[in-house]
Amino acid sequence: MQKEKNVHKMISKAKSLFMLVLVYFVTMSCNTMKINPSNEAYEVINSYYGSNGQKSFAKKTVDICQYTKGLDNLSAWQEANNDLGNYDRPKVDFQSMFSNEEFISVIREFVNQSTVQQRLDKNKLNGNIKLSQKAKSSISFPYIFTNNGTKYALMYEETYEGPESAAGGITIFRFEDGAWEDIFYLHLWIS
């Protein structure tokens, strides 16, 4: 009887260990995503490195949880980004979005923060970014630059709902037909 209990305990421990290893490898695969070199996003990010001269993304992040009005466009693309296969997203006009009355206080908060350099790997864009854990939802204002005559913007965003649910990523926007359209969303890490 005792032997049987020991065998069941060993089997249970082996199953737990197997599941732990499986979860680890699944998480590692989520935390790292290679971008196809022929992808427009790859070219844009390489252009960002070229114009910046460093392998880091300069970001200042602001908490958007406290703001509810005037965030319709932002909410729309954030929700659309939950489905990575959905690239038919609403166009966002940053100029008007970040100039309304509500965002003036956000901009003040943003300007008063120090810039944080987030290290990125241009070939792999791994999950080398730490969550601030200060806000449930936060964004960085876009870094705008030109590549081959086309205007692009990179925006970093993160969501933190506790140690079990945290995610972050970079959205790449392209300026086309007088508006900003988000063309690519890259998860940097999921935990």
d(CA 139, CA 61): 5
pLDDT band for position 151 (cuts 50, 70, 90) = confident
Residue matched to tokens 């120090």: 114
pLDDT of residue 161 exceeding 80: no
Of residues 181 and 77, more confidently modeled: 181
Q: Which of 93, 91, 118, 92 is nearest to 188 (CA)?
A: 118
pLDDT at 145: 75
Counting residues of the chain whose pLDDT is more than 70, the rounded percentage is: 16
pLDDT tens-digit series, residues 42-97: 677 666 666 655 555 555 555 555 544 444 445 544 554 444 444 444 555 555 55
CA R_g for the chain: 20
pLDDT tens-digit series, residues 96-129: 555 555 545 555 555 555 555 555 444 444 444 4
pLDDT at 104: 52
pLDDT of residue 152 exceeding 70: yes
User: What secondary structure does DSSP assign to 72-91, as a single string?
Assistant: HHHHHHHHHTTSTT-----E
Average pLDDT over residues 14-24: 46
d(CA 54, CA 145): 15
pLDDT at 178: 74
Domain coordinates of the chain in residue numbers? 1-31, 34-190
pLDDT at 57: 54
Return the beta strands (E) in 8-73 as ranges: 56-59, 61-63
